[in-house]
């Protein structure tokens, strides 16, 4: 099973438009589903300000994979050499290793995500196991998948698949495991009963399912097919997680140790996902024009990126054009539908929209416990260094 993806960048934001083709079926873009009234206080406008940066002397392309809990070390992957590269706040490379080369520290020829395990160890998501490493690349432990998977996919907007947290005195990792072949996503059974998220305990070598789609989710209540309903997640604090779904208007706050749903926040109506759902029995495609792209925690706040999408029905009209993803027709569609809105919440309510007025070449955004968003800076020319920005969200001042 394999997904095919196409990514593009639009002005003032990063928008990834993906054509997803898998053995599960296809997903796409379209019109709107609304629900109950959102819990919206007096709205405050916010701005994103660059406050600092980390510059790494490296010509080859580096992509962010994780930030340690203290917020002072970055784990990067070198897209040319496949090395995992650790850097400190000064941009100095403190360690690099290649876990994809056969040997005593081999994890397989590919990974699906990484997280720090504490501040000085790492966990990688391999083909058959989760693998714990020292920060020098020594393989320390392997933990089998808790379920059998039928294949692997790349998901829209590259959500975090591994997230570290500490449960009292025990360190744990939350893992998002897609790729299951049964039940079919085009069934209510899939939405109601499939577990995609697991809490991994490396100390006791155990795992358990958590964060099943709640009864309040539109995937449980609509009675139609929307998409595969993958979650985007991040750790808030003390074992509390924020969980969002691609086409759900709700944002869920969970306690991972107890798997208890603590609170439900609502995306304001004007920013909610937009789609045309279809019957489960239909073989057609779903048009979506707006989705939850990414959720991340920044200190005690929650940032939700709403992403505009080109409808599948519009894309099909231009797919006969050679290299259609580079065509003027595709640019026109992207300009029409492509948009990004960054929304700010705390654990209780929606706070306001963030003015996100700069570009990035990276497709990944990471929040940290110190209240920063990390992203990669874009340059129009080639440079022998890479820059990673620290962005803080602050109230707008007149």
**Nearest residue to 127 (alpha-carbon basis) of 145, 115, 139:** 145
* 344/361 Cα distance (integer angstroms): 22
**Nearest residue to 155 (alpha-carbon basis) of 291, 289, 272:** 291
HSE of 36, CA atoms in CB hemisphere, 13 A: 9
Preceding omega of 183 cis (within 30 degrees of 0): yes
- Structural class in CATH, domain 8-395: mainly beta
- DSSP strand pairing (197-201 vs 170-176): antiparallel
* 349/265 Cα distance (integer angstroms): 6
* 13/16 Cα distance (integer angstroms): 10
To the question of pTM greater than 0.85 for the whole model, the response is yes
Q: How do the pLDDT tens digits run along the chain, 398 residues long?
A: 323 222 333 233 333 333 332 322 333 333 344 333 445 455 679 999 999 999 999 999 999 999 999 899 999 999 999 999 999 999 999 999 999 999 999 999 989 999 999 989 999 999 889 999 999 999 999 999 998 887 777 777 888 999 999 977 789 999 999 877 678 889 999 999 999 999 999 999 999 999 999 999 999 999 999 999 999 999 999 999 999 999 999 999 999 999 999 999 999 999 999 999 999 999 999 999 999 999 999 999 999 999 999 999 999 999 999 999 999 999 999 999 988 899 999 999 999 999 987 666 677 889 999 999 999 998 888 899 999 999 999 998 86
**Is residue 104 classed exposed, middle or buried when 0-12, 13-18 and 19+ CB atoms within 10 A define those classes?**
exposed
């Amino acid at each position: 099973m394999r997904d095919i993806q196409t990514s593009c960048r639009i002005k003032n934001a990063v928008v990834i438009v993906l054509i997803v083709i898998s053995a599960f079926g296809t997903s796409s873009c379209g019109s709107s589903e609304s629900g109950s009234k959102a819990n919206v206080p007096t709205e405050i406008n916010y701005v994103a300000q660059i406050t600092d940066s980390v510059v790494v002397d490296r010509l080859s392309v580096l992509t962010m994979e994780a930030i340690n809990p203290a917020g002072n070390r970055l784990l990067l992957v070198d897209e040319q050499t496949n090395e995992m590269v650790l850097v400190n706040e000064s941009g100095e490379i403190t360690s690099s290793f290649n876990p994809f080369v056969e040997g005593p520290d081999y994890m397989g020829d590919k990974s699906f995500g990484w997280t720090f395990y504490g501040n000085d160890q790492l966990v990688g998501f391999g083909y058959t196991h989760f693998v714990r490493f020292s920060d020098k690349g020594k393989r320390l432990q392997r933990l089998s998948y808790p379920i059998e998977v039928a294949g692997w996919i790349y998901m829209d907007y590259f959500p975090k698949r591994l997230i570290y947290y500490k449960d009292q005195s025990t360190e744990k990792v939350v893992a998002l495991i897609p790729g299951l072949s049964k039940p079919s996503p085009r069934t209510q059974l899939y939405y109601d009963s499939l577990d995609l998220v697991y809490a991994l305990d490396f100390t006791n070598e155990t795992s358990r399912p958590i964060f099943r789609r709640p009864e309040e989710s539109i995937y449980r209540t609509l009675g139609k097919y929307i998409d595969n309903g993958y979650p985007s997640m991040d750790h808030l604090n003390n074992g509390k997680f924020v969980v969002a779904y691609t086409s759900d208007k709700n944002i869920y706050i969970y306690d991972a140790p107890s798997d208890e749903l603590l609170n439900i926040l609502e995306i304001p109506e004007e920013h909610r996902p937009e789609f045309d759902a279809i019957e489960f029995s239909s073989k057609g495609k779903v048009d979506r024009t707006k989705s939850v792209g990414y959720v991340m925690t920044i200190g005690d706040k929650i940032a939700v990126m709403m992403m505009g999408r080109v409808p599948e029905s519009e894309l099909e009209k231009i797919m006969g054009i050679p290299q259609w993803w580079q065509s003027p027709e595709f640019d026109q569609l992207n300009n029409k539908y492509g948009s990004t809105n960054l929304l700010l919440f705390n654990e209780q309510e929606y706070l306001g929209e963030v003015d996100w007025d700069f570009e990035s070449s990276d497709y990944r955004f990471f929040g940290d416990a110190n209240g920063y968003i990390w992203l990669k800076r874009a340059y129009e020319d080639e440079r022998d260094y890479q820059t990673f920005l620290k962005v803080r969200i602050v109230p707008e001042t007149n």
